[in-house]
Amino acid sequence: MSITVPCPNCAAPVEWSEHSPWRPFCSERCRLIDLGEWFNENHRISEPTDPGIPPQQTPPEH
């Protein structure tokens, strides 16, 4: 059984399974971008990749 969902950030198909740890996002990058929009909305269009967010410092949500 394979279910795919569109990434909320880039609309790429994301497999809804344990193989997609960043679901519903396609990648950690898209997840960070989405989470960062609330404080970085001025940059989200011109700079889709934010160098100010270290990839390993995302606190767990749960």
Cβ of residue 10: shortest distance to Zn ion, in angstroms? 3
Among 26, 31, 32, 33, binds Zn ion (CB under 5 A): 26
**32 belongs to the binding site for Zn ion (CB under 5 A):** no
Say how far apart CA 25 and CA 37 lie, in whole Å.
14
Q: How far is CA 50 from CA 26, 61, 62, in A?
A: 16, 20, 24
Binding residues for Zn(2+), by number, are: 7, 10, 26, 30
Residues engaged in binding Zn ion (CB under 5 A): 7, 9-10, 12, 26, 30
